[in-house]
């Protein structure tokens, strides 16, 4: 991954995404105005942080990203299987729709999602000129929301999974993510023997490897180009929010992605 700093904000970028065609950034918690548990660049609006700070953080992020704040399309992430396709931003007056996957073909839309341990999955199709963003915690991973999003993009835009560039972003790693017996048994029920490869057992308990699980599920859906960030949120609190490690008293970092005008389908027959 490429790490960049600009006026206090620090972001990470996948090397396999072509910057001429797609803008993307995974923002660390550095460079914002939030305080205490939320320090500093918290983009979560429903965790108790000061709304004025959250607003200022959004403005800083969008200035850094190089897109207007009004270009934002985001959803209410609910650990479900709803995938949205949009060709316009979400007006600020309009409520968030529930969903865990979002796609657009419009270079004037910035897709944005919020994370603190769950897995960000970034998608770019340089052929059909589509970007997407998926949120996968243990529940989304269980139901293979990443693979489902790919399948929906195939149906909706005619994408070929083999063309996609997919990035699996910073999230809690398989050594840190302890899960209970209930989660373990749900994986065995749904994934069968495959669960052996993503859940490890030790004297301390069961550990779920969300990175491996999502990569397997995406490859199974035909995706060939996958880049893993390999950054664990729980082990790097100086840069990331971790819901698990910080026992729920934390903020949310943001992932943003949009097509560049060059990466978008020609308009007006140009």
The minimum distance between CB 242 and Zn ion, in angstroms, equals 9
Residues 101-160 that bind Zn ion (CB under 5 A): none
Nearer to Zn ion, 175 or 224 (CB): 175
Cβ–Cβ < 8 Å for 224, 37: no
The minimum distance between CB 233 and Zn ion, in angstroms, equals 8
**Using CA of residue 138, residue 13, residue 72, residue 45, what is the dihedral sign?**
positive
- By the rule CB under 5 A, 173 interacts with Zn ion: yes
Q: With contacts defined by CB under 5 A, name the span among 96-104, 170-178, 242-250, 255-263 that binds Zn ion.
A: 170-178
The minimum distance between CB 118 and Zn ion, in angstroms, equals 14
The owner of tokens 């270009």 is: 71
Burial of residue 54 (CB within 10 Å: 0-12, 13-18, 19+) is buried
Nearer to Zn ion, 186 or 236 (CB): 236
Nearer to Zn ion, 39 or 178 (CB): 178
Cβ–Cβ < 8 Å for 88, 105: no
**Integer angstrom CA distances of residue 155 from 33, 87, 150, 240:** 42, 16, 9, 35
Distance CA 27, CA 121 (A): 14
Q: With contacts defined by CB under 5 A, name the span among 158-166, 175-183, 184-192, 205-213 that binds Zn ion.
A: 175-183
Number of H helices, E strands in the chain: 6, 15
Residues 225-244 that bind Zn ion (CB under 5 A): 232, 234-235
Among 30, 176, 179, 212, binds Zn ion (CB under 5 A): 176
The minimum distance between CB 55 and Zn ion, in angstroms, equals 31
The minimum distance between CB 236 and Zn ion, in angstroms, equals 8
Compute how many residues bind Zn ion; rule: CB under 5 A.
6
Nearer to Zn ion, 175 or 220 (CB): 175
Query: Which residues touch 270 (CB under 8 Å, ≥6 apart)?
Result: none
* Closest-CA residue to 251 (of 111, 58, 11, 95): 58
Nearer to Zn ion, 49 or 117 (CB): 117
Residues that bind Zn ion (CB under 5 A): 173, 175-176, 232, 234-235
């Amino acid at each position: 991954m490429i790490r960049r700093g600009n006026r206090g904000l620090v972001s990470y970028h996948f090397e396999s995404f072509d910057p001429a065609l797609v803008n993307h950034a995974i923002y660390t918690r550095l460079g914002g105005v939030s305080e205490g548990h939320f320090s500093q660049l918290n983009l979560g609006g429903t965790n108790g942080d000061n709304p004025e700070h959250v607003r200022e953080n959004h403005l800083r992020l969008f200035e850094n990203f190089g897109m207007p704040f009004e270009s934002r399309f985001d959803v209410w992430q609910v650990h479900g299987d709803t995938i949205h396709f949009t060709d316009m931003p979400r007006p600020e007056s309009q409520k968030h729709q529930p969903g865990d996957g979002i796609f657009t073909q419009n270079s004037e839309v910035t897709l944005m999602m919020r994370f603190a341990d769950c897995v960000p999955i970034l998608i770019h199709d340089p052929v059909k000129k589509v970007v997407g963003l998926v949120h996968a915690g243990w529940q989304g991973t269980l139901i293979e929301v990443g693979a489902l999003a790919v399948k929906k993009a195939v149906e909706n835009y005619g994408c070929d999974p083999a063309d996609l560039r997919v990035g699996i972003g910073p999230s809690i790693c398989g050594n840190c993510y302890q899960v209970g017996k209930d989660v373990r048994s749900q994986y065995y029920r749904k994934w069968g023997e495959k669960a052996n490869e993503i859940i490890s057992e030790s004297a301390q308990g069961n550990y779920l490897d969300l990175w491996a699980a999502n990569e397997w599920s995406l490859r199974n859906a035909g995706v060939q180009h996958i880049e893993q960030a390999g950054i664990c949120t729980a082990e790097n609190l100086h840069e990331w929010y971790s819901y698990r490690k910080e026992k729920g008293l934390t903020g949310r970092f943001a992932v943003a992605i949009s097509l560049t005008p060059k990466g978008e389908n020609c308009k007006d027959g140009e």
